[in-house]
Amino acid sequence: MCQELPTFDYKDHCQEEEIVLERPSNDNDTSLGFRIAGGNDQPFVENFTSIIVIHITENGLVDRDRRLKLYDIILSVNGVDYSNIKHQTAVRILKMSRNIVRLLIRRLVPQLIEVIELKHSNGK
């Protein structure tokens, strides 16, 4: 019965993007301004072990930059592969990154945007 169900390939609906963040060298707050969940030891949901952005701190570095989005999947940080990583290792790598942080992310994006125009009964 399950074999009759159509499958959906999310890869056709994702885009990858490299985001380079630069921490100010005089900034005592080393936080990038976001929190993550996931990892091969702490799946975000069952069988989903990717590292995912679950919170963006208002007025933090990432919020001001505006490129990283909620629920983006982090594929790598400064060249370190995040596809099969423990949660605490992922956190440690982010915290230890220096002034330049290179994130490779994957994001689900709509493939089709439909514009619908509505008319009021008075013709406007």
Lowest mean pLDDT among 15-19, 29-33, 120-124: 120-124
List C-alpha distances in Å: 87 to 31, 40, 41, 46: 17, 7, 7, 15
- What's the token pair of residue 85? 């990583």
Residue 8: predicted pLDDT: 54
Q: Give the number of other Cβ atoms within 10 Å of residue 35's Cβ.
A: 14
Q: Mean per-residue pLDDT for 52-59?
A: 97
Compare 76 and 10 and report the one with higher pLDDT.
Answer: 76
Compare 118 and 67 and report the one with higher pLDDT.
Answer: 67
User: In whole numbers, what is the pLDDT of the chain averaged over residues?
Assistant: 86
Q: Which residues contact 75 (CB under 8 A, 6 or more apart)?
A: 16, 81, 82, 83, 104, 105, 106
Dist CA 100 CA 63 (whole Å) = 16
Could you say which architecture CATH assigns to the domain 32-124? Roll (2.30)
Residue 65: predicted pLDDT: 97
The residue among 23, 33, 47, 29 whose CA lies nearest residue 98 is: 23
Q: Is the pTM of this model over 0.85?
A: no
- What would the pLDDT profile of 57-98 be if each residue is shown by its tens digit? 999 999 999 999 999 999 999 999 999 999 999 999 999 998
1 pLDDT above the threshold of 50: no
The residue among 21, 28, 17, 35 whose CA lies nearest residue 97 is: 21
Dist CA 106 CA 29 (whole Å) = 27
The residue among 47, 107, 98 whose CA lies nearest residue 75 is: 107
